[in-house]
Amino acid sequence: MWIRADDLVEVISGEDIGTRGKVLRIDRQAGKAVVEGVNRVYKHVRRSQRNPQGGRLSKEMPIALCKVLLVCEKCGAAARLKADYLDDGTKVRACKKCGANNGQIAPAKARYAKKVRLP
């Protein structure tokens, strides 16, 4: 699960298929994310001092992480992610279509750094 809050994702199945939106929150225990404008439901609200009119409140509900793909910043396509290492040993998220770097996963470690060979 390499999707984070504030990532742009595209829904790949369900009622909102093809919809793109920003991830608002992630629940890692349940494997779900709340995406802006996706899986909207109506919550019926009683009249109260806080809400004197009452009525229906529209809100987003969580969607399973397996139903969303990250939209690559470079190629603009919804793509799966892979783990890749930079030359200094930093672990990053990379697009499987174009190979672009989409953010850091872990800090640099010496054992994953590429060794420079002298001629």
**Domain coordinates of the chain in residue numbers?**
1-71, 79-119
CA-CA-CA-CA dihedral for 93, 95, 96, 98, to nearest 10: -140
Q: Residue 16's pLDDT is what?
A: 92
Q: Residue 56's pLDDT is what?
A: 92
What pTM was estimated for this model as a whole? Answer: 0.81
Q: Report pLDDT digits (tens) over 35-86.
A: 999 999 999 999 999 889 989 989 999 999 999 999 998 999 999 999 999 9
> 1-71: what fold?
SH3 type barrels. (2.30.30)
- Is the confidence at residue 115, as pLDDT, over 80? no
Count of beta carbons in the 10 Å neighbourhood of residue 62: 17
Q: Which amino acid is at 39?
A: N
